Amino acid sequence: MEVEIEAEGFDLDLTLSPSFVSSLYRRAGPGHWVKIAGSLGGDLELEQRGEILMARSGAPLGDEELMGIAELETGLWHGPYEEGLRSLPESARPILEALGGVYAGLRLPIAPSDFDWILIAVALSKRADYEKRVLAWCRGIWGKYGADIRRISSAPLSELKRISPSPQVLGLKRTLRSLLGLGERLPRAIIERFGAPRGPIGPYLLGLPPELARIALISGCWGIGPKTADSIILSTFKAPRFIPCDSHLRAVAARLGLVDRSPGMPRGDLCSRFICDPDPQVRYGIGPCPRARSCIRGRLAWLGDLGGWFQTIAYLHGKSYCRSRGPKCPECPIRRVCPNPPRAGARGPH
């Protein structure tokens, strides 16, 4: 079966490459991706031809079901983020419009039906190069265990070492063991409102509001801190406002003048108890974070639904130009609007 989806102003390669959803796919050629793991693994192809996205599968699905899955996993479930730029503060618009022009067509794919797979890919990505290391580790794990959390968490270390002796692969065992027991460590505020999990933890977390799933993961799962939890949620929930923050994002945002001072980083001890945004605080009866005004995630909250989009662009731009060390300002396509343009003869911002 094949369905066609309108994909005006969309770029499948640009969208999938930096996303954790790409750990479930193999790029078969320009604009052509084949799903190799997770639900429909081996039986889903995505291909962009101009302004049409085609999804093909031999699985017994209806047209609408296939279209729904393809829309989620390509990010086409959400309209172009560039359209949201008009509602941002005028002072930030030139920078974000320039970035939107360079990275035009970027959306945010999500794979809620592959929650466990995505959690594993994100957990492996801590302090590791996604393309050079994480994708290879994922392939090794998918091939040996799939995303069978019980099997991985009880696998002998010697077996995991054959995939890689890296701390990320070996640490996965402890993270997943902790995930299996998460239902017993959920905060009371969550249990009282949503009940205790009665089955696998992934579907339970997906049934929570994303702000509470974040608290549950950070407070109860070993090895999952604020950035990891935000990346899992950004890749599995319709929550594009979630911003996985690291020191690199902070450096790029500061160079671009989007944050005025050097803000603090999200702190696990606070993220495990508080919510940054005022609306969900009231809705779920959870107090405001005392650091909301000084932490980068709180300070970038004005981006709204463009938060995850900006974070992904900051990642891409940081890899190509705005590198932590030695930014390539003279070659940077947005140098004309950057408040930190290079001085003559200099290589970096000043």
Q: d(Cα 117, Cα 122) in Å, to the nearest integer?
A: 9
Positive or negative CA dihedral for 263, 338, 310, 21? negative
CB under 6 A: which stretch of 3-11, 59-67, 170-178, 324-332 binds ligand SF4? 324-332
Pick between residue 165 and residue 304 the one whose CB is nearest to ligand SF4: 304
DSSP 11: -
Contact 7, 76 (CB under 8 A): yes
**What are the backbone dihedrals phi and psi of residue 293, each rounded to the nearest 5 degrees, phi first?**
-85, -15
Q: Which residue carries 């003048």 as its tokens? A: 257
Pick between residue 40 and residue 300 the one whose CB is nearest to ligand SF4: 300
Pick between residue 6 and residue 279 the one whose CB is nearest to ligand SF4: 279
Pick between residue 24 and residue 295 the one whose CB is nearest to ligand SF4: 295
| Total binding residues toward ligand SF4, as defined by CB under 6 A | 27
Contact 243, 250 (CB under 8 A): no
CB under 6 A: which stretch of 105-113, 115-123, 205-213, 325-333 binds ligand SF4? 325-333
CB of 247 to ligand SF4, least distance (A): 14
CB under 6 A: which stretch of 41-49, 58-66, 112-120, 326-334 binds ligand SF4? 326-334
SS3 category, 324: coil
Q: d(Cα 281, Cα 14) in Å, to the nearest integer?
A: 35
Residue 332 as a binder of ligand SF4 (CB under 6 A): the answer is yes
**What are the backbone dihedrals phi and psi of residue 29, each rounded to the nearest 5 degrees, phi first?**
165, 180
SS (H, E, C) 168-195: HHHHHHHHHHHHHCHHHHCCHHHHHHHC
CB of 197 to ligand SF4, least distance (A): 23
Residue 239 as a binder of ligand SF4 (CB under 6 A): the answer is no
Q: d(Cα 109, Cα 308) in Å, to the nearest integer?
A: 11
Pick between residue 169 and residue 258 the one whose CB is nearest to ligand SF4: 258
- C-alpha 279, offset from chain centre: 22
Q: d(Cα 64, Cα 3) in Å, to the nearest integer?
A: 9
CB of 297 to ligand SF4, least distance (A): 4
Q: Residue 197's closest CA among 215, 209, 185?
A: 185
Q: Which of 18, 226, 244, 307 binds ligand SF4 (CB under 6 A)?
A: 226
CB of 20 to ligand SF4, least distance (A): 20
Pick between residue 44 and residue 215 the one whose CB is nearest to ligand SF4: 215
CB of 186 to ligand SF4, least distance (A): 18
Residue 334 as a binder of ligand SF4 (CB under 6 A): the answer is yes
Residue 242 as a binder of ligand SF4 (CB under 6 A): the answer is no
Residue 349 as a binder of ligand SF4 (CB under 6 A): the answer is yes
Burial tier of 350 (Cβ tally within 10 Å: 0-12, 13-18, 19+):
exposed
CB under 6 A: which stretch of 35-43, 105-113, 120-128, 322-330 binds ligand SF4? 322-330
Q: d(Cα 200, Cα 218) in Å, to the nearest integer?
A: 18
CB of 284 to ligand SF4, least distance (A): 13
Q: d(Cα 181, Cα 186) in Å, to the nearest integer?
A: 9
Kindly state the tokens that stand for 345.
């003869």
Q: Residues 256 to 315: which contact ligand SF4 by CB under 6 A? A: 256, 266-267, 270-271, 274, 276, 289, 291-292, 295, 297-298
Residue 279: count of CB within 10 angstroms of its CB: 9
Binding site for ligand SF4 (CB under 6 A): 226, 255-256, 266-267, 270-271, 274, 276, 289, 291-292, 295, 297-298, 321-322, 327-329, 332, 334-335, 338, 340-341, 349
